[in-house]
Amino acid sequence: MGEDYYKEKLISLFKRIFIETGDARSRIINCEDKIFNAQLASNAEGIPVEVRTRWEEIWNELNLKEDWYDNEGRLIQSSLNATVKNKRNKSMEKYLLFFLEEFFRVI
Q: How far apart are CA 49 and CA 42, in angstroms?
A: 9
Angle between helices 32-41 and 49-61 (to 10 degrees): 150
Predicted confidence (pLDDT) at residue 1 exceeds the cutoff of 70: no
C-alpha dihedral, 24 to 27 to 32 to 37, nearest 10°: -90
pTM of the model as a whole = 0.93
- Exposure letters 27-41 (e unless 16+ CB within 10 A, then b): bbbbbbebbbbbbeb
Give the model confidence (pLDDT) of 48-60 as tens digits: 999 999 999 999 9
Which residues make beta-bridge pairs with 77? 68
